[in-house]
Structure 1
Amino acid sequence: MLNIMRLGEWFQLTVPLEWEGKTVTGIFRDVWEAPKKLTHTFRMEQKVLINGDRANWNIPLVEGSKLQMKLFEEEIIEIIPNYIEIDILFEDDHLLIINKPPFMNTHPNDPNRDQDTLVNAVQFYLQSKGEDRNIRQVHRLDRDTSGAILFAKHALAGAIMDNMLLKRKMKRTYLALVHGVVKPRKGIINKPIGRDRHHPTKRRVSLTGQDATTHYIVVKEDKEKQQSYLKCWLDTGRTHQIRVHLSYLGHALIGDTLYGGKPIVKRQALHAAKLEFTHPFTEEYIVCHAPFLDKPVIFKDIDIYSL
């Protein structure tokens, strides 16, 4: 774990032994894989210091030096804040993980008219703490899907986490309740997903679609009700991926009427149960479990911390 400290608008990191000999350019490019445009902004606006002095981006770093970056500036707020109670699973100066309730959009489709989304609620929370910065959504969940969702509190964190998501350095584990007893009990669904020409929002397995891979394991069966509880995780992040793949397998999500599920419950029975990644600024391995929020309970007698 790295030695870090916040100093007002500045973030300070003590250079570890494994960074000795690397340059600031190398840290931004190779360690954090930050976008060139954002890196250029930090360089031109002198937002990086070494031991309090303007950084030379091409001189090798020395173990124990203080790398300081201006990460926590005030910003012009772009999202209208709205008070809605949120369930926080993890928070530090850089990242925020929320347990999203079902029946809530992640972000507004129309920023001026749609203000009852999770992004609006998180923006209110951030400003209520005196943090006048735009919250950055790293990934999304469907309106009816509940569970862990990640936000970044500043531009560098947002860019790093976006790249980690793209490069599959973040693991998202879901719990799904589906129709039928699934055989085999463990498998990989590797089928491309594309748009359905006959429906504006629906997706389908399509030879011309984007590559998509879903892993699953049966964690519990209810043979009397002909239902299965599946642990799922993704190598890709296509729209409706789990819903499409499980429907293609012949085991649609319960409640997912768009993809052939029966309305036994009020929503598609899908929950983002666990989120895992290595924190880019502390190197700590973060594991967040999201407790179930449904009343009445959908996922019965499942230990969320065993997934």
Structure 2
Amino acid sequence: MLNTIRKGEWLEIIIQEKWDGKTVEDIFRQEWEAPKKLTHIFRMDKKVRMDGQAVNWTVPLTAGKRLEIHLFEEEEFTIPPHYQEINILYEDDHVLVLNKPPFINTHPNDNEHDIHTLLNAVAFYMQAKGEIRNTRQVHRLDRDTTGAILFAKHALAGAILDRMLEKREIKRTYLAVVHGLLRQKKGTIKEPIGRDRHHPTRRRVSVSGQTAVTHYEVVKEDKTNKLTYVKCWLETGRTHQIRVHFSHIGHPLAGDLLYGGKPIADRQALHAAKLEFLHPFSEEEIICYAAFIDDPSFFVGIDVYTL
């Protein structure tokens, strides 16, 4: 675990044994796998220091020394701040995890007119705290999907988390309610997903689509109403992935009218219940559980802490 402390606009990192002999270039490119463009900006703008002095990026580091990185400078907002109450599951100087409510988009499609999104609400929250910086979403949830969603508070954290997401090092566990009783209580749906050319937003299983893998396990059955509560976790993050996959196998999500679900709920019954990742700087394991938001809840008798 890294020993770090924020000092104003700078993050101080005590060089650990495993970094001894590595260069700053090695840290950015190998340890953090930061993009070339972002690494170049940190280098050219002298955003990295060693014990208060500009650092040579090619000189080997020594364990115990103090590496300083300029991460927390003010930026002009690219997303206009707009107030909406947010439910915080975890926060520090680098990341923010929220419990997203239903019926709100993750990000605006039009910055001028579309201001009632979660990212606008985060911008307002940051502004109210005096942190004038652009927060970056690491992944997204559909408008009607609720639950844990991860944001990065600065560009380097965003780059590291993007890479972790791409390498499947961020685990997202969802709970869904689907129509019918599944014969197989545990399994994997591996079907490529592409656009439906007959509909502007719908996706479908398509041989020419992108690889999509959904693992699932039955948590509970409601035999009276012929509904199944299913825990799902993803290897990929395709648009509408869980919704498309369960519709494809004949078990659409309850309330999901777009994919064949019945209107027994006012939205698709899908909740991002658990989010797990290693912190991009401290390397601490972060586990966030998102309580059910709907009142009354779709997910009767389910404890998110058991998922």
Query: C-alpha displacement at 1:162, in angstroms?
Result: 1.0
What is the match of residue 205 of structure 1? 205
Query: C-alpha displacement at 1:297, in angstroms?
Result: 1.1
Aligned-residue Cα RMSD (Å) equals 0.6
- Uncovered stretches (5+) of structure 2, i.e. residues with no partner: none
What is the match of residue 123 of structure 1? 123
Distance 1:125 1:280 in 2: 22
What is the match of residue 185 of structure 1? 185
Letter in structure 2 aligned against 1:229 = Y
Query: How many residues in Structure 1 have an aligned counterpart in Structure 2?
Result: 307
Distance 1:156 1:280 in 2: 9
What is the match of residue 239 of structure 2? 239
Q: CA-to-partner distance for each residue in 1:12-55, whole Å, 9 max, x for gaps? A: 01011111111111110111100000000000000001111111
What is the match of residue 84 of structure 1? 84
Query: C-alpha displacement at 1:269, in angstroms?
Result: 0.2
The alignment partner of 1:197 has SS state of coil
Distance 1:152 1:297 in 2: 29
Letter in structure 2 aligned against 1:288 = C
Superposition map of 1:1-307 within 5 A: 1-307=1-307
Q: CA-to-partner distance for each residue in 1:207-243, whole Å, 9 max, x for gaps? A: 0100100000001111111110000011101000000
Q: Which consecutive aligned stretches of 4+ in structure 1 deviate over 2 angstroms post-superposition?
A: none
The alignment partner of 2:247 has SS state of helix
Distance 1:50 1:245 in 2: 51
Query: C-alpha displacement at 1:285, in angstroms?
Result: 0.5
Query: C-alpha displacement at 1:188, in angstroms?
Result: 0.4
Moved more, 50-59 or 63-72: 50-59
Distance 1:211 1:286 in 2: 28
Distance 2:94 2:107 in 1: 20
The alignment partner of 1:164 has SS state of helix
Query: C-alpha displacement at 1:69, in angstroms?
Result: 0.2
Letter in structure 2 aligned against 1:126 = M
Distance 1:169 1:33 in 2: 14
Provide the TM-score with structure 2 as the length reference: 0.99
The alignment partner of 1:83 has SS state of coil
Distance 2:118 2:82 in 1: 9
Distance 2:32 2:291 in 1: 31
Distance 2:186 2:47 in 1: 49
Letter in structure 2 aligned against 1:299 = F
Query: C-alpha displacement at 1:59, in angstroms?
Result: 1.1
Distance 1:150 1:3 in 2: 23
Distance 2:74 2:136 in 1: 14
Distance 1:235 1:77 in 2: 33
Provide the TM-score with structure 1 as the length reference: 0.99
Query: C-alpha displacement at 1:159, in angstroms?
Result: 0.9
Letter in structure 2 aligned against 1:73 = E
Query: C-alpha displacement at 1:255, in angstroms?
Result: 0.2
- Uncovered stretches (5+) of structure 1, i.e. residues with no partner: none
The alignment partner of 2:134 has SS state of coil
Distance 2:155 2:62 in 1: 26
Distance 1:223 1:170 in 2: 34
Q: CA-to-partner distance for each residue in 1:157-208, whole Å, 9 max, x for gaps? A: 1111111111111001000000011120000000000011111100000001
Percent identity between the two aligned chains: 65
Distance 2:292 2:167 in 1: 28
Q: CA-to-partner distance for each residue in 1:49-75, whole Å, 9 max, x for gaps? A: 111111111111111110100000000
Q: CA-to-partner distance for each residue in 1:233-271, whole Å, 9 max, x for gaps? A: 111010000000000111100000000000101000000
Distance 2:68 2:250 in 1: 54
